[in-house]
Amino acid sequence: MAVQYVHYKGIKFPPGYNSVENLCFAENEFEVRDDDIFNVTYPKSGTVWMIEILSLILNGGNPSWNQSMLNSCRAPWFTTQLGLEAAHLLPPPRLLTCHLPIHIFPKAFFSSKAKVVYTLRDPRDVLVSYYHFSKMCVPFENPKSFNHFLESFLSGDVPFGSWFDHVTGWMKLKGKSNLLFISYEELKQDLFGIVERLCHFLGKELDEAAITSVVENTSFEAMRRNDMCNSTMLPKEFMDQEKGTFLRKGICGDWKTHFTVAQSEYFDKVYQEKMEGLKGIFPWEYTRQEN
Ligand code: A3P
């Protein structure tokens, strides 16, 4: 049976936990506090990784909070009813998560001092990760084939819309002091350095031991072991982990094991067109990482 997505402002959202009312509330009525910290991503770009990093930083590197509560409670998805309720209960500073494109993001943010950490990733790796995730996440349509999914991704006909629109939309705010752009590739290359940069951005300076604790507790292996972030606690009706693993490979460049030469050329052509004006600034355009 075809999945009945929720449609809001030109974007389709997975059903079940998103509603037009909640999305409209998030955009127009959500009260943003000056000390709120938003973790914003396009899906499969490192959302859960960043939740772990930020919530550990906010707790001075002490992993006990991260290990005592699901990440969706520590950093609620405020576009859902449950997440909204959890957001109201959080002590400040609140860590809040969403995949919202800029045109649906809470209006109140733009006149606040709240901060956004926007994590982005090589779109080819996003696509591969999203393809596998769509097979196991029940509210998402099961991809017909990898090639079909690639076509849908490139045309923006996937939940949360076009990667290109999401990234170019948010990049328009680059340079504002309350926004920090971090790439998945930088996280892989220098996690310690990025944690330091995040601490500075948040005004939460940690000593070397605390930063080391953040780094150790957010390694791929540590997160795979941590039931509070590896999604194994989620009900099977939501995520069927017999069909895959949420923390799947955690590497850069996995697209190379999925794309044919023709698919890669096709992807590059669309990328060149859509990213006109922003080319040459992203790590995946000038490095080739295999880690
Ligand atoms: P893969 O499917 O390529 O393995 P999101 O949280 O936005 O849904 O992103 C999920 C992707 O981030 C998955 O990518 C997952 O493995 C990866 N990821 C999560 N935590 C990670 C970590 N600590 N190190 C490296 N990759 C991580």
ipTM: 0.99
Cα 126 to middle of ligand 1, angstroms:
9
Bridge pairing between strands 11-13 and 115-120: unpaired
What are the residues whose beta carbons fall under 8 Å from the beta carbon of 154, sequence distance 6 or more?
266, 267, 270
* Alpha carbon of residue 280 to chain centroid: 22
99 in active site: yes
pLDDT at 1: 67
Q: How far is CA 279 from CA 62, 263, 272, in A?
A: 39, 20, 8
Annotated catalytic residue within 7, 88, 99, 103: 99
Ligand 1-lining residues (CB < 6 angstroms): 41, 43-49, 125, 129, 132, 218-220, 223, 247-250, 254
User: Where is 119: in which H helix or E strand?
Assistant: strand 115-120
| Regions of the chain where pLDDT drops below 70 | 1, 287-291
